[in-house]
Amino acid sequence: MTKVLYHNDIQEEVLSTKKIAIIGYGSQGHAHALNLKESGFDVVVGLRKGKSWDQAVEDGLPVYSVAEATSQADVVMILLPDEHQPKVYEESIKPNLQPGNALAFAHGFNIHFNQIVPPENVDVFLVAPKGPGHLVRRTFTEGAGVPALFGIYQDATGQAKQIALAYAKGVGAGRAGILETSFQEETETDLFGEQAVLCGGVTSLVKAGFETLTEAGYQPEVAYFECLHELKLIVDLLYEGGLENMRYSISDTAQWGDFVSGPRVITEETKARMKEVLTDIQTGAFAKGWILENQANRPQFNAINTKENNHPIEKVGRELRELMPFVKKPVNSKKGSGH
């Protein structure tokens, strides 16, 4: 098994003498900034004026423009939305980087796909917590942490690895486990996981099941419970103990149905499609499409989003969740999920 590092394996001295600028204060930004500060590090936040700026000030952090925060800092962690990073980097970060500084990311996309090309005289590393920002923050305040991947793209100072590990420890990941990866592996597996399984795979599976039941004349309310609502219980069991633990908890009838019908739904054909998705990620075809979509102000993204929000499963879901006060209200924008 690959080596997993914990809290006590890591020396943080290399980062204690440095100033860290967290650029962005959204889901990941607020968690990194607050956790690092409470771990004893010297943290400033870099932002434009707006909602996040006000929040960071309210949380007691020193806030500056992106250019000013970068100028002061030794380590610059970029936690802006991936689509906005190249422009902000060119305009406000690159001109203010000093030789020997470190540039850091929580996702490898812009470095791996050459949307940001850093100078050779800075360290470049990633620390990617394997969980949403609000969980990174909450687990930290509870004395625990979310596991993280770290990776080195460029080691200009000879200390990039020590700095990355100290950073990961400061965010709280040392309490849960820190694993080494590369920018390429992190980027490609992250994109594949969210597209084929976690987000794209699950939403398409849920919709197909719901449509199959309602088209056969079953009530949408019942279809909603069977195909979406109960998913949480199953996912919790998977999370706690893998497939075996989930199958141990469900009825034998459900387990037999799992064995005989699962492979009829997700077939070799589905796996061949997954391979196509992976190939598009590896060749850069997916990245190119997404970059162009953003340059065109997201015409397809917005059209599909509107259509998806009007799917019958969403309409019946909104009504049913009103009747279930124990189901936590969703955070309206996924982006605000950290606060």
Question: Which CB sits closer to Mg ion, 90 or 194?
Answer: 194
Helix extents (H) in 59-199: 66-72, 85-88, 109-112, 133-141, 160-171, 183-192
186 is a site residue for Mg ion (CB under 5 A): no
Rg (CA), the chain: 22
Residue 172, classed as helix, strand or coil, is: coil
Residue 163, classed as helix, strand or coil, is: helix
In this chain, which stretch among 80-88, 114-122, 161-169, 203-211 interacts with ligand NDP, using CB under 6 A? 80-88
242 is a site residue for ligand NDP (CB under 6 A): no
Residue 107 C-beta: closest distance to Mg ion, Å: 6
> Which two three-digit tokens encode residue 136?
């990174």
Residue 109 C-beta: closest distance to ligand NDP, Å: 7
Tell me how far apart the alpha carbons of residues 104 and 111 are, in angstroms, rounded to a whole number: 10
> Do 180 and 170 form a contact (C-beta atoms < 8 A)?
no
Question: Which CB sits closer to ligand NDP, 31 or 165?
Answer: 31
> Which two three-digit tokens encode residue 208?
């197909």
Q: Which of residues 130-159 bind ligand NDP (CB under 6 A)?
A: 132-133
> Which two three-digit tokens encode residue 304?
């599909």
271 binding partner (options Mg ion, ligand NDP, none; Cβ < 5 to 8 Å by kind): none
Q: Which of 51, 288, 315, 318 binds ligand NDP (CB under 6 A)?
A: 51
Helix (H) or strand (E) holding 241: helix 231-249
Question: Which CB sits closer to ligand NDP, 6 or 53?
Answer: 53
Question: Can 107 be counted among the known catalytic residues?
Answer: yes
> Do 337 and 134 form a contact (C-beta atoms < 8 A)?
yes
Q: Which of 28, 96, 101, 154 binds ligand NDP (CB under 6 A)?
A: 28
174 binding partner (options Mg ion, ligand NDP, none; Cβ < 5 to 8 Å by kind): none
Tell me how far apart the alpha carbons of residues 24 and 238 are, in angstroms, rounded to a whole number: 33
| Alpha carbon 52 to chain centroid, angstroms | 18
DSSP conformational letter for 134: H
N- to C-terminal Cα distance for the chain? 36
Tell me how far apart the alpha carbons of residues 202 and 265 are, in angstroms, rounded to a whole number: 13
Amino acid sitting at position 129:
P
190 is a site residue for Mg ion (CB under 5 A): yes
In this chain, which stretch among 14-22, 144-152, 189-197, 313-321 interacts with Mg ion, using CB under 5 A? 189-197
Tell me how far apart the alpha carbons of residues 58 and 68 are, in angstroms, rounded to a whole number: 19
Contact track, ligand NDP, 86-105, x by CB under 6 A: --x-----------------
Q: Is 248 annotated as a binding residue?
A: no
42 is a site residue for Mg ion (CB under 5 A): no
Annotated catalytic residue within 107, 112, 229, 339: 107
27 is a site residue for ligand NDP (CB under 6 A): yes
Q: Is 194 annotated as a binding residue?
A: yes
Residue 28 C-beta: closest distance to ligand NDP, Å: 3
Buried b (16+ CB within 10 A) or exposed e, 176-193: bbbbbbebeebbbebbbe
Residues that bind Mg ion (CB under 5 A): 190, 194
Residue positions forming the annotated binding site: 25-28, 48, 52, 133, 190, 194, 226, 230, 251
Residues that bind ligand NDP (CB under 6 A): 24-29, 47-48, 50-52, 66, 79-82, 84, 88, 106-107, 128-129, 132-133, 335
Residue positions forming the annotated binding site for Mg(2+): 190, 194, 226, 230
Give the residue numbers annotated as catalytic, written as ranges.
Answer: 107
Residue positions forming the annotated binding site for NADP(+): 25-28, 48, 52, 133
